[in-house]
Amino acid sequence: MQTVQSRQKSYADVRQKDLGFFVEDKVFLKVARKCVLRFEKKGKLSPHFVGPFKILERIGSVAYCLALLPSLSIVNDVFHVSMLRKYVSNPSHIVDYEPLEIDENLSYTEQPVEILAREVKMLRNREIPLVKVLWQNHKVEEATWDREDDMRARYPELFEE
């Protein structure tokens, strides 16, 4: 019996890894399905992890105190190491933005910058000319395909050559 137990323990130890974090590290927090509503996410497509949150202090050998958002003040801020995953910083996670000029009714007008491409869509008995428009405050990946005649009517300055 001892031999079997030691063999099983050695198999489990191979897969076991020591998790350790430092103060000021950022981590994701694992969310249990029954606690999802506390973290303002619900539904079956809700994320398994929320965050990232900064570690404020280490409590004992397996517990950490996290800096949670004020909206999560009802949740205890001390978590077991098994509920944490390391956050690896990635520059693509940082969103650059330019301030928008917002009207009184909290809206803003989109202005086209340039036409990137042209295409003719063939239907059964019609051809529809389309243009790919780059909009102000948007990236090239967010350019839209619009009807050329609509764009000519609304923004004739784009078509002056």
Note the pLDDT of residue 67. Answer: 92
Note the pLDDT of residue 129. Answer: 93
Note the pLDDT of residue 104. Answer: 78
Q: Which two tokens mark 46?
A: 């809700």
Q: What sign does the dihedral 64-67-70-72 (CA atoms) show? A: negative
Residue 141: what are its φ and ψ, rounded to 5°? -65, -20
2, containing H or E segment = helix 2-15
What residue ranges define each of the domains in the chain, with the CATH number in brackets?
18-90 (2.30.30), 112-159 (2.40.50)
Q: Which two tokens mark 155?
A: 């923004």
Note the pLDDT of residue 52. Answer: 87
Note the pLDDT of residue 34. Answer: 58
pLDDT in tens, the chain (161 residues): 889 898 888 887 776 666 778 888 899 888 776 554 455 556 666 777 888 899 999 998 889 999 988 877 788 889 988 889 888 887 777 766 667 777 777 777 788 988 999 999 998 889 999 999 998 878 888 899 999 999 999 988 888 76
Note the pLDDT of residue 92. Answer: 75
DSSP-based three-state secondary structure for 35: helix
Note the pLDDT of residue 40. Answer: 54
Note the pLDDT of residue 57. Answer: 92
Beta bridge partners of 30: 49
Q: Which residue has the tokens 């004992």?
A: 60
